[in-house]
Structure 1
Amino acid sequence: MDQNIVFSGNPDGIIWGMTASERAHRLIAQETAKQPIAAGYELQVNLSYVFDPLLLRLVLETPGTVFMWGSALIVGQVAAGGRPEHVIDLSEGRKLYNRQLRKLEQPFVRELTPATRREIERRSYFGAYKGVTDLLTKYLWPELALWLTRIAASLHMTPNMVTAIGATFCLVATYLFAQGMYWTGILAAMIFMVLDTVDGKLARCTITSSKWGNVADHGVDLIHPPFWWYFWGVGLSAWGLALSPESFAVVIAVIVVGYILQRLIEGMFIKDFGMDIHVWGRFDSWFRLITARRNPNMVILFVSLLAGRPDLGLIALAWWTVISLIVHAVRLLQAYGEKRAGRPIVSWMEARA
């Protein structure tokens, strides 16, 4: 480990199946690979405390910054032999904007003891949650995913193992949809969607993110939804509700083209404005809860299945895709208009930080 790193505190506390020292070394290796310690500075880390990875990222980006919890130094980058230039006491309730996880909140900091371990795991888990996401991920299964993440960590499973298991259930769901076995297909899909949350949380909580793991996880997320919707339509024949060939072609074309265009709009917004479209305004963050992505679309299909009309669910999904596409397109054009007018495009959360 770099000689410009100074550790203090107790390195032996256990969190997520690893010692505080092991967690700190993983975190430092991960973050300094992207932002090295500044020349002439030293990184100071208190191993008695578990803290949000955002704090390490910020002190590496802004040499001279130190985060405190009352009188205890948590993490900081200080000029060798010098004094900190910016001291921030997080015990006062200071909120910080986490661009990576799209949220504005007070970063978690907690002294690690046997009595606080479970609480810290819980707080670090929810600290790894994206602030702007869909309604199922945000409200329905966080507790279930926390339980599964703890089990995976205790078994020393890697995030890639969880991703592989989830991908298997994704393929099973696709097959079941094609056979018109919608209820068992939705069950398999739900297992996959929960595991899709678990692998990311496991990676963040155990500091085991990897480039290829991210590629595999996001690659599966990006590719599979159109196949689900297509084979849902194929399975309608088993219910005697098959759409006519012409209607089926139009519905699937609308869903697939709309899905691709929405993804392109999101990519353009990131490229041209340096942030996700869903964090620009409060409306955008709210709309991300229900926009025509996989999880909200599954809610539409689930409701249609309860009504015994999975065919109408697919048609409703096509209409919702069109509506969501229009909303995204309008917001992109509005952002370009703001930029031409010379007004900065800043996330509403960042503006409040």
Structure 2
Amino acid sequence: MALRYALSEIRKHGTDRTWWRKRFLTHAVSRYFTDVRRPPATPVVEKDWDNLIVLDACRYDLFEEVHAETPLPGTLEKRRSVQSGTPGFLTENFADGEFHDTVYVTGNPYVNTDLPEETFHAVESVWKDGWDDDLQTVRPQTMADRTLSVAEKYPDKRIISHFLQPHAPFVGDVQLGERETFAIREQAMGNENATTRHRTPFEMLEAGEVSYDEVWTAYRSNLESSWPAVRQLLENLQGLTAVTSDHGNAMGERAWPFPIRVYGHPLGILIPALTEVPWLTHQNGTRKDVSADRPVDVDRQVDEKTNERLRMLGYAE
């Protein structure tokens, strides 16, 4: 059955160079990086923080560029993420542990679908009720407001706030690409018909339809759209707050030692463009007195069928 499916896929996509590149990345390059030459990386759960702001898909050099022009309070360093996509970041950081001293505030549905049900004390699913239907994302200010509310509700818990920006769709002042649907969210909400998605700006770059500078400018603008909300959290959350990312985005960098270019953020491709992320820390007042308590009931609103579809969809790969 597997061979028949493989032959069918080859007949269907055999002349598509992009399809072959993605298959090679998945079946050869990712295995090399994960099984043969895995770069050293420190999980975020082993770092020191009271509050963690995760800017989805923010590579270090992008953050550094914006920070140099509009500094945030705190000290900026570089760290290496354990994975090159959100599902891997979540699984490798959290799936094997219990973090009952932590509340996860998320604009990203993968937190609900890819982790065991009692991983955290609570999960605040902003992607369910804080969604902007026009922009097809969660606005940064919505995430900041909800995070501050959750921090007030749970003063003795560590807080993770997972923004969607600067991940596509690019909804800053400079916009690029289509954003009519967000299939990951629709699948998690139970819409079984949401099986298609639009190409990301990184796939458009790969196809030669837009330039590197066009994508970088829109990518940067998307990060800048989150800047005021991130600053608000840094200035108002109690304790030690860290700003980081789960992974970056590749824009044609090669996956050395393989002479193949990478676009977007395929899982398991542990190159610097995808794993070098910011680590900015800032402390307000005294550190939190954190305690662990039994998890609260969470309405995850997903089923196994949806879960499998999400894993197949990925982000853009």
TM-score range, shorter chain: under 0.3
TM-score (norm: length of structure 1): 0.24
Higher helix fraction: Structure 1 or Structure 2?
Answer: 1
TM-score (norm: length of structure 2): 0.26
Q: Which of 1 and 2 has higher RCO (CA within 8 Å, sep 6+)?
A: 2
The structure with more radius of gyration: 1
Higher strand fraction: Structure 1 or Structure 2?
Answer: 2
